[in-house]
Amino acid sequence: MKRISLILALSAAVCVAASAQSKSFTLGKWVEVNNAILKELNRSYVDSLEVGRIEREAVDAMLASLDPYTVYVPEEEQEDFQMMLSNTYGGIGAIIYKPDVNGNVTINEPYEGSPAARAGLRCGDEILSIDGTSTHGLTSQESSERMRGKPGTKVVFSVKKLRGGPTWKAGEVIEVPVVRERIVLPAVEYVGMLNGADGYILMNKFTEGVGQAIRDAYQTLKAQGMQRLVLDLRGNGGGLMHEAVNIVSLFVPKGSVVVTAKGRAAGSEQVYKTSTDPVDTEIPILVLVDSGSASASEIVSGALQDYDRATIVGTRTFGKGLVQSIRPLPYSGQLKLTTAKYYTPSGRCVQAIDYSHRNEDGSVGHIPDSLTHTFTTAHGRTVRDGGGITPDHEVKAKRYSRLTYSLVLNGIIEQYALQYVREHESIPAVEDFHFQEYDNFVAFAADKEFDYRSSARAYLDEVKKNLKEDGLEETTAAELAALQSKLDMSKEDFLRLKKDEIIPFIEEEIVVRYYFQEAGIRMRLRYDEQLHTALQQPAITF
């Protein structure tokens, strides 16, 4: 018996060694083949060869075959990568508008309290040059790059002022020096009371310190009489896992499991538990999610759902249950590498079953129940895996017309807001502001080039194209002409038809330019039908 066991053990050891050798041989083989191909291309290819470009494309294609989140970040992209991770960058703190390379840069939205705002730059001011270099001929991206830089360094703008000030006249060109700073884009965008009982927190990312920011926001709202907390994670693509743990820690007992990460290697499993005392284990919590809520957002909503600690409302989340780690590479590059999957306290894997069942926005598509597994929450409710977090109450967001999307995506509303600022020195407070000049907007938009067809009209055009390809155009001509006459509408008439749908977007764009970004959120909340419906949903109680 001992002899048989010894033979089996030796056989297993030989298989493991052979497997390791096989993997090492395969890796070495393809490294050698790759180098040989590059050398031969460089020596013999008929046209000039951009080795850096084709190597980058090869690396990107290789990593894309694994998953959408494993990516190579070369040294020259480190600044943008760090901004993505930390929500910070070195610059002046302003959003610019420059639709034409031959035009000037216009200050679109300075951030409240930013170096740009403190230097007196306002919406509508035109930047003619940056450190002596004319903005004519520069793209928006090139202009933005010249504005950014190391914190503490100075950049000098030649600015044509929209309005008069302490020492200048409207239209005068003045020199405006600005010292760059580390601009921190807040992960907690808004904190306020929605009514006498509901406190509201809007988060956009899980960056360093956001757990403490949520704790502070909770204390602020509690002092204002909050009886229920609304945590808005819609569109929140995630971030740092430990900050997700910190947020869950605020509302469940110390020592509770929040998430478990499991990698391929044996012994790689890591269990993350709450390590601090909670601030409140009783207050009702409503968490808003949608298909843009991913990663750390799914950790928070999944854990609070598994402990029956919050009512999750909205639509199914994105379905990204993967953990990424950063690995250093030669020449100061970095590899953002998927190293594990994570699981909620009940054992659910948030990751979608595969990458093929995805919606257009990348979120998880429909997964039949037959392909999922059931799990139970702390109080015995049934929840499922298969991708994303399914809300306790599904409340869909408002659907907008094709016209409204076209106005937004083509910058028509943004351009109009800039014109409005030029024509109006001030507006009422956010709560009192109601846009009353819609006919003026219709005239402005009607003069712009953009696709204003309705969805039905665009679909009819596609049908006509298919009929022509199939040789059926003539036989259906009369019917199609009759239908088209019903669907055709002038740009002005369609804009007037969708007035109630478009006005909220105009109001948001306008108030931001007078009262900064928080004002836009407050205006958005006025028309947020999904939020207003969510507030009426029954809480999970036991």
Number of H helices, E strands in the chain: 16, 21
For 538, how many CA atoms within 13 A lie in the half-sphere containing its CB? 3
Q: Which amino acid is at 512?
A: V
* Closest to 423 (Cα-Cα) out of 119, 172, 123: 123
As a whole number of Å, the CA-based R_g of the chain is: 28
Distance CA 418, CA 165 (A): 19
Please provide the size of the chain in residues. 542
> Buried b vs exposed e over 454-484: b needs ≥16 C-beta within 10 Å?
beebeebeeebeebeeeeeeeeeeeeeeebe
How far from 330 is each of 57, 72, 320, 335, CA to CA, in Å? Answer: 18, 11, 29, 10
CA 350 to chain centre: 18
Active-site residue, selected from the candidate residues 125, 320, 392, 498: 320
Strand runs (DSSP E) across 77-234, as ranges?
A: 88-91, 94-97, 105-110, 126-130, 133-134, 154-160, 173-179, 181-184, 188-193, 198-203, 228-232
Positive or negative: CA dihedral 470, 475, 477, 479: negative
* Closest to 521 (Cα-Cα) out of 222, 192, 196, 197: 192
Place of tokens 């020259």: 76
Active-site residue, selected from the candidate residues 125, 198, 232, 306: 306
How far from 405 is each of 159, 290, 487, CA to CA, in Å? Answer: 33, 19, 19
Question: In this structure, what are the phi and psi dihedrals at residue 469, rounded to the nearest 5 degrees?
Answer: -65, -30
Active-site residue, selected from the candidate residues 143, 293, 295, 301: 295
Please state at what angle helix 210-223 crosses helix 241-249, rounded to 10 degrees: 30
Distance CA 522, CA 376 (A): 38
Place of tokens 């994105």: 318
Distance CA 415, CA 394 (A): 36
Beta-bridged to residue 273, according to DSSP, are 257
* Closest to 109 (Cα-Cα) out of 84, 130, 92: 92
398 carries an active-site annotation: no
Give me 446's structure tokens.
């009607």
Give yes or no for a contact between 507 and 433, defined as CB atoms under 8 angstroms apart.
yes
280 carries an active-site annotation: no
525 C-beta neighbours (distance < 10 Å), count: 16
346 carries an active-site annotation: no
3-state secondary structure 519-539: HHHHHHHHCCHHHHHHCCCCC
Active site residues: 295, 306, 320
